[in-house]
Structure 1
Amino acid sequence: MNATDTTLAIGVMGFQLGIDRILIGIFTGLTYGLLAVGLVLVYRSSRFVNFAHGSIGAFGASVLGLLVIDWGAPYYLAFPLAIGVAALLAAGIEVGVVRRLAGRPSLIGMIATLGLSQFILIMALLINSDGVSGFTFPMPPFLPSFTIGKLPVSSAHVAMVLLAPAVLVGLSMFLRRMRQGMAIRAAADDADTAALEGIRAPRMASYAWALAGGIAALSAILVTPTTAGQSIDTLGPDLLLKGLAGAVIARMTSIPIAFGASIGIGVLEQVLLSNPDTRGLVPVVLGIVIVVALLRQPTLGRADTERGGWRRVGAPPVPAAYAAVRGIRFAPYFLVGGCATIAVALAYVVSNETASVLTTVAGFALVGLSVGLITGVAGQLSLGQFAYAGIAAAVSVHLVESWGSFVLGTIGGVLAAAVVSALVGIPALRLKGLALAVSTLAFALATTAWVLRLDIFLGDGVSPAKPTWWGYSMELARDYYLFALLMLAIGIFVSANLWRGGFGRSLQALRDNEDAARAFTVPRTLRKLQLYAVSGALAGLGGVVIGHGQTTLTVNSFPASASIDVVALTVVGGLGLVAGPMVGALIIVGLPGMVALGIPGQALLAVGWLLVVVLLPDGLGGIAMRMRDRWYDFLASRAGIDPVAARAEPDVTQRSPLQRSAALDGLFAVDTEDMDAGPDAAPLLVVNDVSRHFGGVVAVDHVDLAVRPGEIVGVIGPNGAGKTTLFEIVAGFTKPDTGSVVFAGHDMTTATPERRANEGLVRSFQDAALFPTMTVRETVMVAGERTAPSSLLAAALGTGLPERLKARRADELIDRMGLGPFAGRTISELSTGTRRVVEITCLLALEPRVLLLDEPSAGIAQNECDALGDLLLDIRRELGTAMVVIEHDLPLLARLCDRMVAMNLGRLIAEGTPDEVRTHPDVVSSYLGSDHAAIARSGPQLTSGEPLPAGTP
């Protein structure tokens, strides 16, 4: 090496840190920066990550390759045409797909873009099968190429340096100075406010998607000729991950930060690539960068309050009257038995080749069951399920070889997948959707590129053993298919039990409304870790089935794209149905395995499952459920039951449950110690000097509050006084900056909301939203988790006694509270007043010692407030429950509370009896201002001790 080379190549711990590596990293980082900018534009307009972003760029690159290589068009004519095609494609996706998904969870939008990604890549291959290879892809002509030391700088690198900054500057000027650009920013920031200014937010979103699509194509066109050996299959996901890292660092908002961070990503990538031992770690490192960036940000990726648009989990309920019809009662058993008989019989009539395909279908269906649990029930998106399957297969193969026991090898592989899945999911415990999807995508890419290639896993390939049944080796594919069916049956049994038991109900509650679930004692962290482990175990069982069914097992047996395929098959079959993955696997995996579809057929298949996502929210399984309902209606009518009357909604014109007298006598085991406590008793709840600041805003300022057993304390104050924030601190949802919370003699300052609720410190919420997709009965059973928590093992085995006890208790509470006619209706169907009664019923199921009620009369008709007051007083009389009540209805509060405190600007400004507080000068001033004329106009009630008008703000 000459002197010049020595200065350019600096080795540190096996990595090359010379100027050559840094320069090439900067060059590629410029294109990643453009990709990150496009992701930011899309996220700001649609609020989800477009997983088809890299594929759109790859499609644009494919168009350029077609025009230049195949058709002979001049490069600089094809260049803008290819970018324009990608821009139109992106805009078409926004109009044709994204808009149709409005009102549904953002996770569904991400799943749709996964389908689009598959379809777009297939179409790119269809129009130009080899035009995106780094060896043959055209480079920009008329630009210089040279070397720096040993670094070859091609014309594509020069184009990166020239075009990337120019595009960034031009885009920045367009968004900040041009009318159309400012309109795009305004619509992205607040669509409703922009509409008042005459800006059509949907059109602006289409423009943002078009800009992002064009930029993605520019990135792919510039980076492809610099990556020798790059293929279209890896270009889309690989580009996406590299652009996403910079975008997340920029909090999906700042274009300059995204661009600058991406340059650093490019340099980091080149450093890793310089060491042969770390080349496969690029996706892992990028995934870590993304997750760390998410965890360091206060809002992006946090568990949000997105509660609308989720589908109900499980098959639609059958009317109770149908239980008397024998044909309906036994229909599920006949259906399951018939399908099982047909599946087993196929082993004796099909060829070994077909049996091998059916085995693969069973394996994919098992992995799909894990997706159904983590996505359909829990509402999170994992793109690494097939990676866990690959790890389980590799571990199982080696354990069987070492121990000679197929049973122990299978168990070991399943446990390994469960552990890895839980470990990968740990960073996403406090995050939702975006974090888990991105971290598992990175893990899937890393598993294919590095993990499975290690000798301890698959290396260059292994030969798996076949199971032995009472001395008979299942070498033939038809014999092994029976083993696959047995494993699938076990997976279905466990999944069905988890879905319909307390474990699945807890996950659904966390999905619908995480804060309410935690307030009902659902252990968020434990349940999520259990979810990741169980879903990984199911995926691992599928991997064992697939792995041992092959003659030679290699890394190509578990490609990263298969993780997207299992999401596809689960969505096609029906995310909310246990049987969904089986239906989807037969179509997505079985059909191509038995019929040679070719690229056009694969494109049609991708379009088909995309249409299912957009047009059939319940998948093909939803169609099957509707056919089931029609058949049941037919059988019921033959038995003399009127289907219309049986399926009729309960009479909602009846009186509200609040207007019924709730007979609570004898319903609870009363804590006599709390009930007998006198005015001199030690406080049950002590809030000492708590404060909370949000930036420069003081929400709670050195507040002290004590509540004795059985006491009702009212809290009043104008909007923004800090009342709800104080509740958030006491209930554990917000950490105080200073001070402490002591409950029943125990310091609860750092305790989780779940622990506080378990101890009897329970809160309600202003909106009483509860769990929109769950029925009243299911919701009350969620609250029953405090007295009868669900065990994962018991749920998996289908142990029915705990569930029956919980259901019986819920039915008793529902009957006593007058909610019987509403028991089978979902929360989203109920009026605000009825939801409030359901919430109070749930609070009773928790058997609280202190209730924190946040505006319990909100949304309730004025003529029902007296009934609400009677109900709360009955609760105190029967349970001895102390209460802290935030309320604007001062007559109701005066009737309820023994003592009242007033807050303003985060501070307590008055404390005493209701009359003393309502007439306190500072309270009057905080409600009506300090202007004496205004106070005089308010009437004599403010100075005579009479109550303020109901609903005074």
Structure 2
Amino acid sequence: MGGFDFGIDRLVIGLFTGLTYGLLAVGLVLVYRSSRFVNFAHGSVGAFGASVLALFVVDWGLPYWVAFAVAIVVAAVLSGAIEVVVVRRLEGRPSLVGMIATLGLSQLILVMSLLINSDGVSGFTFPEPTLLPTFEIQELPIGTPYVAMLVLAPVLLAGLGWFLRHHRMGMAIRAAADDPDTARLEGIPARWMATLAWAIAGGIAAFSAILVTPTTAGAGMEGLGPDLLLKGLAGAVIARMSSIPIALGASLGIGVVEQILLSNPDTRDLVTVVIALIIVVALLRQPQLGRAGQDKGRWRRVVLPPLPAQYRQVRAIVWLPRVLVALGIAGAVGVAYVVSNDTASVLSLVCGYTLVGLSVGLLTGVSGQLSLGQFAYAGIAAAASVHVAESTDNFLFGLLCGVITAAVASALVGIPAMRLKGLALAVSTLAFALATSTWLLRQELFLGDGIAPAKPTWWDYPLEYAVDYYLFALLVLCIGLWVTNNLRHGGFGRQLQALRDNEDAARAFTVPNRMRMLQLYSVSGALAGLGGIVIGHGQSQLTVNSFPASASIEVVAVTVVGGLTVTLGPLIGALIMVGMPAMYGLGMGGEAALAVGWLLVVIFLPDGLGGILVSGRERLYDALARRHGIDPMLARHGVTEGADTSSPLHQAPHLEGLFDRAPAPESGGARPILTVAGLSRRFGGVVAVDHVDFQVAAGEILGVIGPNGAGKTTCFEMVAGFTRPDTGTVVFDGTDVTRATPEQRAQHGLVRSFQDAALFPTLTVRETLMVAQERALPTRLWESALGVPTSERAKAAAADEILERMRLTRHASHAVGELSTGTRRVVELGCLLTLEPRVLLLDEPSAGIAQSESEALGDLLLAIRRELGTTMVVIEHDLPLLSRLSDRMLAMNLGRVIATGTPDEVRNDPAVVRSYLGADQAAIQRSGLHLAATNG
């Protein structure tokens, strides 16, 4: 039918292979539920178990089934040890760090597997199960590995299902995975339950690898690499990384689809492409997998903060980095005249890997996204550059077309990927990398069976020799480093950090998240493409093997080992991870050492080897500062002798003249500035907000009260644009903004705050205020890339004015995450005022601050209304504070408005009293109907 084979034999083989993928998917689900990230070493653990079995049976002569049981136990112990030794040490760090660590573990375990038994992992020589019958289906022989899978896999899955549902330990694993904190309160050792889940997953991986290896027709260890992992991930993703039965069923379907595609010569190369599409579609239908909310507050600063103002007065500190850069470039150029062509070829390769690593540094380091597809863009750019240069006889034009092609490809992948962050982005880009290497680059339009790339020409001098080409690669690398450094330390990089730390707060400050992320994917793709062009044109024959999917994982190692903190990190990593093996041929032992080093860096050196250089630089700068009579501690924290160290809330701000516009009247006006009509929102069967109506006059302060769960914050989310209402409208200053984004509302003056006032923990106070300047002085990508300082200077000057007005100058160089809650509230208000708000939506502004600061906060808010005429809608549980602030109050319960009026009227409304104290008459009488006494 249509060239496809739907015979029973083909379907049976599909079910068998799908069962293998299903076992992998089950293990991935178990690990994800316990650790909330994908274990990229899952397939490698299975390969290690398979190597152990081959060693026991082939070399030691043990009975097959004894070795089978022992190998599974060994793999289970190895997987459990990974959780104890590695994963636990990463607790509290972003989930992508765990995924990066398992990438390193995967390489290490594969090397260990080959060291244990390099000859026993081939499908031709791998031992098969014994004591089992064989049979045929329509002349298709069904060997003992398939029979073992047919018999044992259902038993394993049934046993696992019973264990998780009915055994005390299995139920404890599920409880610890769903809610570790609650499980601990119930006496369940959540950490050890996670270890047990990892061990079970490792045993299942070995079970699958042992039975599938004899059927791989000599594929060997490569058959257990990223391609097999991707097929397991497909079923796991369809199951939302949570349901074992769905993961198994989806995997069976994937196995059948694979066999049907393989039966048609026209589609056999499209297997990986189809699976990649399945994964992306599945992720887009469940975007919650792409959310990285659990990482909020876990990020480290990965961009060096600006030098303290006093340090910039020391000439030695100002000139030292410039001199070092000049010496470094001169030394790199000089190398070309003392090395051989072979060494120069390796150095050119190092330059290419560094450029691709720079793209990883922007994505993973600055924006907190893990992409495993950067070498796919490198291959696409190399192919485009070679073809265009050959057809036009213009190398420079070919290079430009290659870079643009990679940028466009990355942007196209980025369109759906903007919804796929964290886990989802890593999985989808891995799928793209595999689809590119197995199908796209094999097309004649790209690399086909191989092409001979042209060499660049300088003033009619062809760079045929490797030492000459190295100078070209070095020039391109210098350009890439310069542009990347500008992007990291300019407004573009600052916005990426803000979006990484707290996307909602950044959007509330008018940072255009979709545009910035699309620009990020384009720029990172262009950098990766530049690296691919350097690699591609440096080779005599360019083939698909020049850009394997595994290289996308290797370049992550290059970047992490070198360090995400410094722009030069990928260069350091490339010299060690690429240059050393290429020049010295390290062998298995050396590769194992590199994999161990990668893992140790991830665990113990979060800033990589570059972080060590940064620490040395800081100590040197401090020493130079002391020689000029500067106290480093005071200079780095912007503290001067005699400075007022009291809370900014207790220091009167200077707000007069902050806005150019005339203040609005304190209350009243012909038309309300904000009208909410019929606003409703359901989450499943839960009604969070139910037909809420209210109006706010210009210059008015409207207080909103209600017990927890009343729907107040959800209502704010809809008014501010972060949640789409099911019904109702939001009209701001006569304009319907119901469908407007939070950025668009903030641009027009409808601005909100957040309960936690977390802001951007890794940014300094000055940088945070500069993020809020985006409304008036938006960052342009080309200005950041070229390092044009005009806009940055204007933002810094405006931020310094706000610092002075809000009495925050001494905190300017402090990271926001280091501040007290009260000081963060003042910083947040400073940011909000920078946006020149006409209506402020304040969500529990007094939460987490002391009572004395609460009173000072009230004075500050009244001063903002008095001096600037800003309208406010305030959610607050501190009723005395809210009563003091509000002209009117509104009470909500169970998603509905139950009372409106003056503060006294609302506080004493019987419906409001009941919503706080219930229907118990004695309690109501004891309250005296004065809710202020309850303090909310």
TM-score range, shorter chain: over 0.9
Contact 2:488/2:494 (8 A) holds in 1: yes
Match of 1:159 in 2: 148
Q: Which moved more, 1:401-410 or 1:287-296?
A: 287-296
Cα distance in structure 1, aligned partners of 2:185 and 2:415: 43
Contact 2:289/2:424 (8 A) holds in 1: no
Match of 1:5 in 2: none
Cα deviation, residue 653, structure 1: 8.7
Match of 1:853 in 2: 842
Extract unaligned runs of 5+ from structure 2.
none
Q: 1:375 aligns with which of 322, 342, 364?
A: 364
Q: Does 1:223 align with 2:223?
A: no
Q: 1:424 aligns with which of 410, 413, 416?
A: 413
Specify whether residues 878 and 640 from structure 1 end up closer, same or farther in structure 2 by C-alpha distance, changes over 3 A only.
Answer: closer
Match of 1:952 in 2: 935
- Please give the per-residue CA displacement for 1:778-813, whole angstroms capped at 9, x wherever unaligned: 111111111111111111111110111011101100
Q: Does 1:811 align with 2:800?
A: yes
Q: Which moved more, 1:703-712 or 1:676-685?
A: 676-685
Cα distance in structure 2, aligned partners of 1:229 and 1:735: 54
Match of 1:386 in 2: 375
Match of 1:665 in 2: 656
Q: Does 1:445 align with 2:429?
A: no
Cα distance in structure 2, aligned partners of 1:688 and 1:455: 59
Cα distance in structure 2, aligned partners of 1:520 and 1:659: 26
Contact 2:666/2:866 (8 A) holds in 1: no
Q: Does 1:693 align with 2:682?
A: yes
Match of 2:645 in 1: 654
Cα deviation, residue 47, structure 1: 0.9
Cα distance in structure 1, aligned partners of 2:638 and 2:832: 26
Q: Does 1:771 align with 2:760?
A: yes
SS at match of 1:348: coil
Q: Which amino acid aligns with 1:199?
A: I
Cα distance in structure 2, aligned partners of 1:447 and 1:297: 24
Q: 1:788 aligns with which of 764, 772, 777?
A: 777
Cα distance in structure 2, aligned partners of 1:70 and 1:388: 44
- Please give the per-residue CA displacement for 1:884-920, whole angstroms capped at 9, x wherever unaligned: 1001112221222221111111111111122221221
Match of 2:65 in 1: 76
Supply the RMSD in Å over aligned alpha carbons.
Answer: 1.6
Q: 1:740 aligns with which of 704, 708, 729?
A: 729
Match of 1:278 in 2: 267
Match of 2:47 in 1: 58
Cα distance in structure 1, aligned partners of 2:636 and 2:672: 51
Extract unaligned runs of 5+ from structure 1.
1-10
Match of 1:142 in 2: 131
Match of 2:615 in 1: 626
SS at match of 1:739: strand
Q: Which moved more, 1:355-364 or 1:67-76?
A: 67-76
Contact 2:407/2:521 (8 A) holds in 1: yes
Contact 1:20/1:148 (8 A) holds in 2: yes
- Please give the per-residue CA displacement for 1:641-662, whole angstroms capped at 9, x wherever unaligned: 3445545685999211010110
Cα distance in structure 2, aligned partners of 1:219 and 1:855: 53
Q: 1:32 aligns with which of 21, 42, 63?
A: 21
Cα distance in structure 2, aligned partners of 1:677 and 1:207: 63
Q: Which moved more, 1:623-632 or 1:347-356?
A: 623-632
Match of 2:925 in 1: 936
Cα distance in structure 2, aligned partners of 1:736 and 1:648: 44
Q: Which moved more, 1:421-430 or 1:774-783?
A: 421-430
Match of 1:862 in 2: 851
Cα deviation, residue 709, structure 1: 1.7
Q: 1:130-279 alignment to 2 at 5 Å? A: 130-279=119-268
Contact 2:680/2:688 (8 A) holds in 1: yes
Q: Does 1:568 align with 2:557?
A: yes
| TM superposition score normalised by structure 1 | 0.96
Match of 1:93 in 2: 82
Specify whether residues 152 and 747 from structure 1 end up closer, same or farther in structure 2 by C-alpha distance, changes over 3 A only.
Answer: farther
| TM superposition score normalised by structure 2 | 0.98
Specify whether residues 493 and 761 from structure 1 end up closer, same or farther in structure 2 by C-alpha distance, changes over 3 A only.
Answer: same
Specify whether residues 642 and 817 from structure 1 end up closer, same or farther in structure 2 by C-alpha distance, changes over 3 A only.
Answer: closer
Contact 2:637/2:810 (8 A) holds in 1: no
Match of 1:483 in 2: 472
Q: 2:400 aligns with which of 411, 415, 436?
A: 411
Q: Does 1:496 align with 2:485?
A: yes
Specify whether residues 649 and 176 from structure 1 end up closer, same or farther in structure 2 by C-alpha distance, changes over 3 A only.
Answer: farther
Contact 1:305/1:513 (8 A) holds in 2: no
Q: Does 1:713 align with 2:702?
A: yes
Contact 1:121/1:236 (8 A) holds in 2: no
Cα deviation, residue 239, structure 1: 2.1
Specify whether residues 819 and 643 from structure 1 end up closer, same or farther in structure 2 by C-alpha distance, changes over 3 A only.
Answer: closer
Cα distance in structure 2, aligned partners of 1:257 and 1:83: 24
Cα deviation, residue 151, structure 1: 2.6
Contact 1:28/1:160 (8 A) holds in 2: no
Match of 2:816 in 1: 827
Cα deviation, residue 410, structure 1: 0.4
Specify whether residues 837 and 518 from structure 1 end up closer, same or farther in structure 2 by C-alpha distance, changes over 3 A only.
Answer: same
- Please give the per-residue CA displacement for 1:318-371, whole angstroms capped at 9, x wherever unaligned: 443333322111111011111111101011111111000000000000000000
Specify whether residues 257 and 186 from structure 1 end up closer, same or farther in structure 2 by C-alpha distance, changes over 3 A only.
Answer: same
SS at match of 1:16: coil
Match of 1:757 in 2: 746
Q: Which amino acid aligns with 1:806?
A: K
Specify whether residues 586 and 451 from structure 1 end up closer, same or farther in structure 2 by C-alpha distance, changes over 3 A only.
Answer: same
Specify whether residues 649 and 167 from structure 1 end up closer, same or farther in structure 2 by C-alpha distance, changes over 3 A only.
Answer: farther
Q: 1:831-842 alignment to 2 at 5 Å? A: 831-842=820-831
Cα deviation, residue 305, structure 1: 5.0
Number of residue pairs the alignment of both structures matches: 934
Cα distance in structure 2, aligned partners of 1:267 and 1:534: 39
Match of 1:456 in 2: 445
Cα deviation, residue 730, structure 1: 0.6
Cα distance in structure 2, aligned partners of 1:569 and 1:260: 38
Cα distance in structure 1, aligned partners of 2:728 and 2:630: 64
Q: 1:553 aligns with which of 542, 552, 558?
A: 542
Q: Which amino acid aligns with 2:299?
A: W
SS at match of 2:677: strand
Cα deviation, residue 303, structure 1: 4.5
Cα distance in structure 2, aligned partners of 1:906 and 1:307: 28
Q: Which amino acid aligns with 1:85?
A: V
Contact 1:425/1:436 (8 A) holds in 2: no
- Please give the per-residue CA displacement for 1:383-415, whole angstroms capped at 9, x wherever unaligned: 000111011001100000011111110011111
Cα distance in structure 2, aligned partners of 1:15 and 1:412: 39
- Please give the per-residue CA displacement for 1:597-638, whole angstroms capped at 9, x wherever unaligned: 001111101110110001000000111111112222332333
